[in-house]
Amino acid sequence: MQRFNEGPAGAEAAGTLIRSRHSSVSESRQAVPGSGLNHATSDAIRIARVLCILSMISVHIWPGATKIEAADTWFHWVYIFVAEYLGRGSVPLLSLISGVLLTTTIARRPPLKLLLNKAFSLLYPMAVWSALLLGVYEGHAIATGDETRVPHSPAEWINGLLSVTSAPVNEPLAFLRDVFMCAIIGVASILLYRRNRVAGGALLLIMVLVEALSGGVLTLRPQILAFFAVGVVIGLSGKTHLVPPISLVVNLLILDVAAHGWMEGELVDWLNRICISVLMWRIAVDIEGWGGALSAGLRRVEPYIFMVFCSHMLTVTVVAAAAGVIGFSPDAPYFPLIWIGQFPLVIIVAVVIQELAQKAQVLPLLTGPRTRT
């Protein structure tokens, strides 16, 4: 089975507010061979991936934010919480996890080989699934004459597939492009850190500030690098099984709600993403600790979650086309069932694609090389 090992927090000072829960139990658990993580942390990461990616997908589920939020129904409030709050707030936690995992993989792989592997496991699937989605858009353009989603200039084609200066056609996969850029910065910082800790930390901090203040020179979304950097710091510290206390989670959520009432702008957006990252990680750790059917179910989905992430826009595009023909409306009383039903649908489609590709021994052609956490 293939596992997503890429990517899918806050400032370093926030780490001092987070305590380790049941440390004696965690320390007694054996480390996952070759990962530098104990089993509890590794399983919590797998659960967090599933929760975060499904939350991210909610942003793209048909018919999209504009139509759902404009609908005259109670459901758009549910959508705002799930998609606009949990969905957009899940990206930082996935970024942070990617930073932590970089510190564990660079310890056992040569840097250049590591970055080459990252290119194949991040940029390659981004290009493949953007090309597949572009094929669907081209077919739609031929059938209907609507070319609004089809690239026209050479620059648009290059960006549509490779995301050089803008998001690819398969827009959610721009996350993979940014994580790759973060990996380059992270590897350079870690190598320098090994020679001089102050210099390594300074390089990482400078790059975060440059990206944040410039709006993004190397990354499309500078926030991804900021949270990735926090993950690198956590990974280098060795304290990877950190658990935010309930009091911190509650206080952050209260602060976030209050801030939305009397502030606006980028600062509120950063605060929201920090709060949701802390909340989602706490939920993932608790689910891992409780065990039971929910934990087992999420861990069963996790081997397919990267395929879910890559393929969900194809599935949602087909759903949108079918909904247009049938005449479904977000104002209809049955719409919540249609919206919720798209989540198991994208999972089922991804599982079928992955199982068929695995049997045909062509899975790496769709996902690139995947490694276990």
Please report the pLDDT score of residue 72 as a whole number: 67
Encoded tokens for 357: 């590709």
Tens-digit pLDDT profile for the chain (373 aa)? 333 344 443 333 333 333 333 443 434 355 555 556 888 899 999 999 999 999 999 989 888 777 777 776 777 788 888 887 888 789 999 999 999 999 999 988 999 999 999 999 999 999 999 999 999 999 989 988 888 899 999 999 999 999 999 999 999 999 999 999 999 999 999 999 999 999 999 999 999 999 999 999 999 999 999 999 999 999 999 887 889 999 999 999 899 888 877 877 788 888 889 999 999 999 999 999 998 999 999 999 999 999 999 999 999 999 988 988 888 887 788 888 889 999 999 999 999 999 999 999 999 999 998 776 5
Euclidean distance between CA atoms 365 and 179, whole angstroms: 20
Please report the pLDDT score of residue 239 as a whole number: 85
Please report the pLDDT score of residue 120 as a whole number: 96
Residue 33 CB contacts under 8 Å (≥ 6 apart), including other chains: none
Euclidean distance between CA atoms 146 and 315, whole angstroms: 19
Please report the pLDDT score of residue 264 as a whole number: 78
Residue 164 CB contacts under 8 Å (≥ 6 apart), including other chains: 158
| C-alpha closest to that of 309 among 222, 361, 368 | 368
Chain-centroid distance of CA 73 in Å reads 29
Please check whether residue 216 is in contact with residue 222, taking contact to mean a CB–CB distance below 8 angstroms. Answer: yes
Residue 5 CB contacts under 8 Å (≥ 6 apart), including other chains: 101, 121, 370, 371, 372, 373
Predicted model pTM: 0.87
CA distances from 195 to 71, 200, 236, 237, 262 (A): 57, 8, 14, 16, 46
Please report the pLDDT score of residue 17 as a whole number: 32
